[in-house]
Chain A
């Protein structure tokens, strides 16, 4: 026998289950318990940049929207800085860059208000197009799914983006593009997530 490596093994994942709201969004489960629920405000009032709303559905392999999903967003500010000691600098006061939303129990729609992130540094000096990192958990999902929201109106930056470009199938890159529209004077990006089958969203092993 060779020497043991002695690394610990990561705690294995399990599904978040249908009642994930109890722990992570108790107000939605039907009771108020915490003075401050976390994750409702991604950017805060002081954040610079374009105010946007991102919304969509999560659709299963039968084409049905799922209504018990929890999504978490992690993004940089308009200057491309993450709110973290290793995030590349200082961010505006109150800018957390992290958000948590759930799908509506009746319609399956989810959405969050934030600011459009800036370009961020990629590996080896390359630049990444503006994007929001997204983590998706739900009943029936055994290990959280990671994807990225890019913006269709950043065509030039998207074409140069190192992550977009490692997706061999160009057709699949389009599944990561949020579609821009305006609703009541507000900029809205539509990002539907297809879990399985035709036009399946690209998910990453990060």
Chain B
């Protein structure tokens, strides 16, 4: 990729701050000193490259990727799809997208999750795919259930799917959560509300996408992911800083 330079500075007023007292775990896990700002060099602009040899095509189908042959996961069958773009609205092709989630009852397949809702024997809860040349991705899964957690006595996470994306440079690395249109738990959640800006919160809510629904089969939600954009020129010559 010629003539591509540094990544745009991250807008840290748009992202959640490290310390959010209502999200209790963040209190002891947030740095107190200011971050040291660093201009990009080669290790920031580059990042790991993944290929189709790294994953299997079935990895994107959570309805079947952990199911016994002939069985499928229980729950509302959904397609989750969209594009990975950068801030310049250019597609991010061939990038790894990984997701994980609870089952339809809000139970995670994790040895540390002791919620009384049962495990679904045919549902693992993770998937991964690589975007195509247009930055497009899709998963097939079941809609996760809400999930109680020990923050306040009566805290419930909205239905959500965790998402992890790489991009082309290591400083684009991002983990976030995808919520679902119309969920009344969204405005109550301290993790959602760690994001100070309502417009930013809205950008994490997947829209019901009737056009992509498969009639009599699977309902669809659309979710675009935006990673940091890059300047169009290589390093300036200014002899200052790092």
Contact = CB atoms under 8 A, between A and B. Distances in A.
Interface of A: 6-24, 26, 29-31, 33-36, 38, 60-62, 64, 66, 68, 72, 74-76, 82-88, 96-98, 105, 120-124, 126, 128, 131, 133, 135, 137-146, 162-163, 165-167, 172, 195-197, 200-206
Main secondary structure of the interface of B (DSSP, over half): loop
Interface residues of B, number: 98
A139 B36 CA distance: 23
Contact of B28 (A7, A105, A140): A140
B191 A86 contact: no
Contacts of A31: 66, 109, 124
Interface of B: 1, 4, 8-12, 14-18, 20, 23, 25-33, 35-50, 54-56, 59, 65-66, 85-89, 96, 98-101, 108-113, 124-126, 128, 162, 164-165, 168, 170-171, 173-177, 191-192, 194-195, 197, 199-201, 203-204, 225-229, 235, 237-242
B175 A13 contact: yes
A35 B26 CA distance: 34
Given A14-B176, A34-B56, A24 B46 contact: no
B176 A74 contact: no
B170 A122 contact: no
B35 A204 contact: yes
Contacts, number: 285
Contacts of B11: 9-10
A82 B33 CA distance: 30
Contact of A12 (B20, B55, B128, B200): B200
Contact of A14 (B43, B98, B177, B229): B177
Contacts of A29: 108-111
